[in-house]
Amino acid sequence: MRIEQVVVNASPLIVLMRSGQAELLPQLFREIVIPEVVWQEVVAGGHLDQAALGLQAAPWAKPTPVGLSPRVTAWNLGAGESAVLTFALENPRYRAVLDDRAARRCASTLGIAILGTGGVLVLAKRRSLLRSVKEGLDQLQQAGLWLSPEIINLLMKEAGEL
């Protein structure tokens, strides 16, 4: 099933903005939801932060009010992760884009479909929007995303680069 709608957490937005790859989002997805609390996390970096400036300038990015589900808040995750997972839980057509391990565990338990930041790059390559996942991953790492060698190998294998 083609992924067309996503709800995105702060860390993917930040590293995609800082790595110059955020424009992949509107090219890949018809609808991009950014919960208000996630928006606030990203723009808290202020007027000198590349991610904050990029998010505020992106024509496709708008903050969306999201309530919280007790089923998600019981996991004691961060506010952004909780909002993203609540939205995806209540709107199953949306894929949650997040990297946090505890949030991914919660999503798995609650049956919420997820996609990591690296997975966004693999999807972009599959849709011919990105030439090299390896180069994109290098840019994400330079922007501050930590990826284990195992995850890098898995993503490159998924992209047909290994």
* Averaged confidence pLDDT in the chain: 96
What CA dihedral angle connects 91, 107, 16 and 24, to 10 degrees?
Answer: -50
Superfamily of domain 5-158: 5'-nuclease (3.40.50.1010)
Cα–Cα distance for residue pair 149/4, rounded to 1 Å: 29
- In eight-state DSSP terms, residue 115 is E
pLDDT in tens, 137-147: 999 999 999 99
The half-sphere exposure of 68 on its side-chain side, counting CA atoms within 13 A, is 16
pTM: 0.95
CA distance 23 to 61: 11
Give the residue ranges of the chain where pLDDT is below 50: none
